[in-house]
Amino acid sequence: MTRQPEMQIASRVVYQGRILNLRVDQVRLPNDQETFREVVEHAQAVAVVAVDEDRNIFLVRQYRYPVGKELLELPAGILEAKEEPLSGAQRELAEETGIMAGSWQYLFSIYSTPGFTDEQIHLFLARELHFTGQSLDEDEFIKVTKVPLEQVPEMIRRGEICDAKSIAGLLGAALYI
């Protein structure tokens, strides 16, 4: 017997923000019980694994307020309205790192935390790199860090690289590098 998915009965937006909305839905479960689901609506995003001819990966170090510390991450960001993922990836890589790439490869897309948000992140591999200069938003304070690819697995194991999109992208890119 196939289980029916949860069915929305009612929905209300309890918060609307600049980068996310919070919605509370009343749903009917497959067993006909009713409950509530909190859903963070988030714009789609992109992240980029930029690798040079010497097999160095370019990461960004920035303070992340929700976790209270600096993280080492892939260059990433939110897509603008009606922006295609590849265009967003190219824009974010250039803005955050000052890197332009001559070769782009789509890797895959992930849902960051599907238990409470619809955020989808599209991951790309960028090669044939050349540098133009960062163009940061006024609220971004980012340091670009070059890391040899062979150091990445140990950095993940030690927790130096610890956010999901970066780990997924780096491991996925390893299939092609």
DSSP 8-state symbol, 29: -
CB 73 within 8 A of CB 166: yes
Closest Cα partner for 42 from 15, 68, 20, 13?
20
The answer to whether 138 is a known catalytic residue is: yes
Q: Which of 38, 138, 140, 160 is catalytic?
A: 138
Q: 73-106: buried (b, 16+ CB within 10 Å) or exposed (e) per residue?
A: bbbbbbbeeeeebeebbbbbbbbbbbbebeeeee
Strands 69-73 and 76-78, bridge-based pairing = unpaired
> Locate tokens 């080492």: which residue?
72
**Residues with catalytic roles:** 138
